[in-house]
Amino acid sequence: MRISVIASLIGARQAGEADININWLLTDSRSLCFPESTLFFAIRTPRGDGHIYIQDLYSRGVRAFVVEEIPEIAASSGDCVFLQVENSLTALQRLAERKREEYNIPIIGITGSNGKTTVKEWLYQMLSPDMTVTRSPRSYNSQIGVPLSVWGLWEKSQIGIFEAAISQPGEMEALERIIQPTIGVFTGLGSAHQENFQSMEQKREEKMKLFAHCKTVFMPKPGLSALEADRDLCRQVCRHLGMPDDVIEQRLAQLEPIAMRLEVKQGRHGCMIINDSYNSDLNSLGIAMDFMNRRPDRANRQRVLILSDILQSGVPPMMFYEHVAQLVQMRGVESFIGIGPQISAHAACFDQLQAQCQFYPSTEGYLQSQAFAMLRDSVVLIKGARRFHFEKITQALEQKVHETILEVNLRAVVDNLNYYRSFLNSNTRIICMVKADAYGAGAVEVSKTLQSQTQVGYLAVAVADEGALLRSNGITKPIMIMNPEMTSFDTLFEYNLEPEVYSFRILDALIRAAERAGITGMPIHIKLDTGMHRLGFDPETEMPRLIEKLQHQTALVPRSIFSHFVGSDSDSFDQFSAEQYRRYLVGADALQAAFPHHILRHMDNSAGIEHFPERQMDMVRLGLGLYGINPRDNSTINNVSTLKTTILQIHDVKASETVGYSRRGQLTRDSRIAAIPIGYADGWDRLFGNGNAYALVNGQKAPYVGNICMDVCMIDVTDIPCQEGDHVVLFGAELSPSLLAEKVNTIPYEILTSVSHRVKRVYYHE
């Protein structure tokens, strides 16, 4: 757009005659990319004043400014144009409105409390195979973000998708005028009302103003989980746009979770890793590069961009990669790595750059390259399409902070699952217990592995936050929360988590909270106390009252009823187990008789599955066995976790000396003593010290000498050929947690779950 046209569109007083063609609008000076065709809006906010950046932008080549006050430099800068307006933000919005009016295409406006960006991105994923979609970059949904988004409409745009968010009354009218949606999508209202709104009603009314001129507005069907509601909205919109049902379902099935964050991680060799897993497009690439440039720790490090092939609908690859090259140049990237056949084929687009550019056909190729091995002292921005598996680059770059690691064999987890599956009927569902961070192995990775296994019906964790973490990491299986806290109900609702209910107190509170949140039909799991005397309803006395309460509400639905054996691991409790089972059936039968739908039954834990397969009923709860330890005899099924470290230092110590605190490490001979970096702060039991247990060095037993310290302990390697840097196994296939547990009079569960979080988990598939 010519600057003179813009001046008249926004009713500005123009100072300066230069005839400039404007392609880019800028409100944040740090994001400057194409100075000669950029129009900078000097906006005043409570936090800052854009006018102070004009001089700097001028020196960087910007020649067009929208200002509220003509700055001093105007006099001496004859090649500039200043458009003076009363309010720069309003002018920006006005300009976007005029731009919008040029397009007679469907425009989808999205608002609501949660899920806006997810719905926007999913609609993009579903529609972009057939049409050129223009959408808000990331969550550009504010008074400034919306006009910048709408400015992105261009001649090829066939549909626009824009999200709008407000923080106080009066803002939505402005956004409505800019977006002018023809189709509205309302993702729902969060349970809290923000400080600037008097009530939920007011907030709803304000948000609804976005749809003032929409012919059609979609809302999710009531009662759906957040995730299902987002999918339902996409389904409805695509159907409205004429997409055939089979195509819709096919594309819904392929939707990828939306990661909204740029992750920053410390890497090795002085590298800082910025991981951008957000959908790849030019806008978000620019934003990520701005983010890189703004990192305070960037000084003295070179900027590296690693980018994969990007498929962008409606733009020819040549043009696209030329744009990328321009961005690379403008953002001062010093080293550019392109990965993928397409970007490699367009290497010529990058010929003119000052940056050093290299291209690799595959991620593996790059990982094996000299360039990767030599990467030092850099800020590395990593941005790749999912199928290029750039997480491998991140993993390889990550710093090993603590030399002690817990190696987790995910293949063995599946093998153990199959071991227990062999005791079960094919239609018995398995609830995999991933509480306590999957018994120390890491709940997220273990759950990702289990998620794709048939017969796994549920994942179970102890508290709501553990469930939320799984959901945020793309786990979609039903999740049971064994010990929901009273303060966590909103988390349950938001993340579609299914709580265990064990008392009237929690039942009443949950019903009240769910009713307040307008929830109906939320699945819950009723726990009976049949002999553990920990948590649960008494099946012999409390069923009538429980049934009565459940029947007089619609917020919750009993999905399952269960109890827990106290001694399925030992034959000596068989008689008591039978009594527990009898009591359980009394309660389960009573509840079932009161409801028309089938209520799932489960009681067996790992030991129970093997010992009482006849009591498997509808589901079983598999815990310890999944992690490779058979609770029946403490044998190893398939070893999952190996706790490993390396020798820090070796001392030759005279027999007359002692080792460690309080001189507890008495020696009987001249010895070689190795120090290893694990201590009680890593969860390593102090009782292992003073020869009670041993580690393995090159396969041989090295007893602990003296007291275990906080971060370090000592082992006797007198008879073991070894040197500093050698590996030490603390537990694993050759030295089982069961054996260590015996030495200090505890159970393997405690050994596994004690390994502290500062010990890095490393995963592999054998």
Ligand X SMILES: *Cc1c(COP(=O)(O)O)cnc(C)c1O
Catalytic center residues: 435, 661
How many residues interact with ligand X (rule CB under 6 A)? 12
| Segment lying near ligand X (by CB under 6 A), choices 12-20, 126-134, 250-258, 603-611 | 603-611
Cα–Cα distances (Å) from 279 to 283, 475, 726, in that order, read 10, 19, 43
606 binds ligand X (CB under 6 A): yes
Q: How many Å separate Cα 645 from the centre of its chain? A: 29
Residue 500 · residue 525 · CB < 8 Å: yes
Nearest distance in Å: CB 483, ligand X: 8
611 binds ligand X (CB under 6 A): no
Residues 482-511 close enough to bind ligand X by CB under 6 A: 482
Member of 433, 514, 522, 637 binding ligand X (CB under 6 A): 433
Nearest distance in Å: CB 275, ligand X: 34
Burial of residue 220 (number of CB atoms within 10 Å: 0-12, 13-18, 19+): buried
| Segment lying near ligand X (by CB under 6 A), choices 118-126, 131-139, 441-449, 620-628 | 620-628
Member of 480, 511, 585, 624 binding ligand X (CB under 6 A): 624
Residue 456 · residue 430 · CB < 8 Å: yes
CA distance 330 to 353: 10
Residue 328 · residue 305 · CB < 8 Å: yes
Member of 621, 694, 702, 716 binding ligand X (CB under 6 A): 621
| Segment lying near ligand X (by CB under 6 A), choices 110-118, 213-221, 617-625, 657-665 | 617-625
The residue written with tokens 């247990």 in the block is: 693
Instruction: Give the bridge partners for 694, in sequence order.
Output: 703
Residue 474 · residue 257 · CB < 8 Å: yes
Could you count the other beta carbons within 10 Å of the beta carbon of residue 731?
A: 25
Nearest distance in Å: CB 402, ligand X: 28
- Cα dihedral 718, 722, 723, 724 sign: negative
Member of 116, 251, 564, 761 binding ligand X (CB under 6 A): 564
Tell me whether residue 32 or residue 624 sits nearer to ligand X (CB atom): 624
By rule CB under 6 A, what string of x and - marks binding of each residue 349-388 to ligand X? ----------------------------------------
| Segment lying near ligand X (by CB under 6 A), choices 201-209, 212-220, 473-481, 621-629 | 621-629
Cα–Cα distances (Å) from 367 to 36, 197, 401, 637, in that order, read 38, 52, 21, 35
Whose CA is closest to 381, among 310, 320, 291?
Answer: 291
The residue written with tokens 């307006």 in the block is: 85
Member of 16, 440, 536, 631 binding ligand X (CB under 6 A): 631
Member of 152, 623, 689, 732 binding ligand X (CB under 6 A): 623
| Segment lying near ligand X (by CB under 6 A), choices 132-140, 512-520, 600-608, 675-683 | 600-608
DSSP per-residue codes, 643-669: EEEE--EEEEE-TTSEESGGG-EE-SS
Contacts for 211 with CB less than 8 Å, ≥ 6 apart: 109, 176, 181, 184, 186, 217
The length of the chain in residues reads: 766
Instruction: Give the bridge partners for 360, in sequence order.
Output: 339
| Segment lying near ligand X (by CB under 6 A), choices 45-53, 179-187, 364-372, 618-626 | 618-626
Tell me whether residue 560 or residue 606 sits nearer to ligand X (CB atom): 606
Q: Please tell me what DSSP assigns to residue 69.
A: S
Nearest distance in Å: CB 607, ligand X: 6
Tell me whether residue 35 or residue 631 sits nearer to ligand X (CB atom): 631
Nearest distance in Å: CB 441, ligand X: 12
SS3 of the chain: helix, strand, coil, percent, to 5: 40, 25, 40
Tell me whether residue 275 or residue 606 sits nearer to ligand X (CB atom): 606
Tell me whether residue 112 or residue 625 sits nearer to ligand X (CB atom): 625
728 binds ligand X (CB under 6 A): no
Tokens of 8: 């008249």
φ, ψ dihedrals at 599, nearest 5°? -100, 120
Nearest distance in Å: CB 442, ligand X: 16
| Segment lying near ligand X (by CB under 6 A), choices 73-81, 140-148, 601-609, 660-668 | 601-609
DSSP per-residue codes, 714-762: EEE-TTS---TT-EEEEEBTTB-HHHHHHHTT--HHHHHHHS-TTSEEE
Member of 416, 605, 641, 671 binding ligand X (CB under 6 A): 605
Nearest distance in Å: CB 631, ligand X: 5
The residue written with tokens 């030490």 in the block is: 728
Tell me whether residue 272 or residue 624 sits nearer to ligand X (CB atom): 624
Nearest distance in Å: CB 361, ligand X: 46
674 binds ligand X (CB under 6 A): no
Nearest distance in Å: CB 545, ligand X: 23
User: Interface residues with ligand X (CB under 6 A)?
Assistant: 433, 482, 564, 605-607, 621-625, 631
